[in-house]
Amino acid sequence: MFDYTAPEKLLKNRVILITGAGNGIGRAAAMDCSRLGATVILLGRTLEKLEAVYDEIESAGHGQPAIYPLDLRNAKDEDYIELAEILEGEFGHLDGLLHNASILGQLTPISNYESRTWRLVMHVNVTAPFMMTQALLPLLEKSEDASVIFTSSSVGVQGKAYWGAYSASKFATEGLAQVLAEETENTSKIRVNIINPGATRTNMRAQAYPGEDPALNLAPEDIMPAYQYLLGPDSLGITGQRFNAQEMPKPQKEEAKITDEDSKVTDDKSKKS
């Protein structure tokens, strides 16, 4: 398990938007962030689920959240601009953005995969987070130390038979996060990281593994330490990294970087041979 103990009120005065906050990991993250003092914006497509989380947060005595119903399947650029304008008016800045909502699509061979479902999965899992991030960047810039988290999966680094668009979408998510992390690293105070939650007891897990005993997997509440760490100030300066919520982070190795000089030497050699 990711080893981090959040100090009480770790996220005090932070405004954090969570997509897919109505159930599963997003719901747990919303409850947890509120408990730690954040003002949470609950974004999702099913209003009743968001209202239920809202009520739970209120009755637990945490800070008042906000609800933002949005269906990522058909939200347009204008909808993300409107979201940014409303958040700007309401809060003035954004300290955390957790891209959590995703859909699984079909579990079937590529030879059988419906192109309509492929496009939908790529849209909800990759294009929508790209559009939302782009619209919210100015608000994230207004934070003292904003944290953006993209949610991936083990099939986002190693393709798996029958996982089709979901697997491809998580590879793309990792790419999007890495590109944005490099772009923001020296130009802003925004950090961008990736979480792989690992097998977690949610509707999506049950959909992917219908024969599995749900009790074998951790509950969403159990995997919160990695989210706490990345959303709070203890991860300041950490960007472009990938975290497994159910594993201890590996010690950082000094990466052997290919310098311009190295590639020049390689090019020269290849020209000679």
Residues interacting with ligand NAP, by CB under 6 A?
A: 19-20, 22-26, 44-46, 49, 71-73, 100-103, 124, 151, 153, 197, 199-200, 202-205
Q: Considering beta carbons, is residue 143 or 167 the nearer one to ligand NAP?
A: 167
CB of 220 to ligand NAP, least distance (A): 6
Pick the catalytic residue: 80, 113, 166, 229?
A: 166
Would residue 229 show up in a list of annotated catalytic residues for this protein?
no
CB of 31 to ligand NAP, least distance (A): 13
Q: Considering beta carbons, is residue 50 or 143 the nearer one to ligand NAP?
A: 50
Residue with tokens 């304008």: 85
CB of 193 to ligand NAP, least distance (A): 14
Q: Considering beta carbons, is residue 93 or 157 the nearer one to ligand NAP?
A: 157
How far apart CA 133 and CA 125 sit, in angstroms, is: 13
Q: Return the residue nearest ligand NAP (CB atom).
A: 24
CB of 242 to ligand NAP, least distance (A): 12
CB of 103 to ligand NAP, least distance (A): 5
Q: Considering beta carbons, is residue 135 or 143 the nearer one to ligand NAP?
A: 135
Q: Considering beta carbons, is residue 144 or 212 the nearer one to ligand NAP?
A: 212
Enumerate the active-site residues: 166
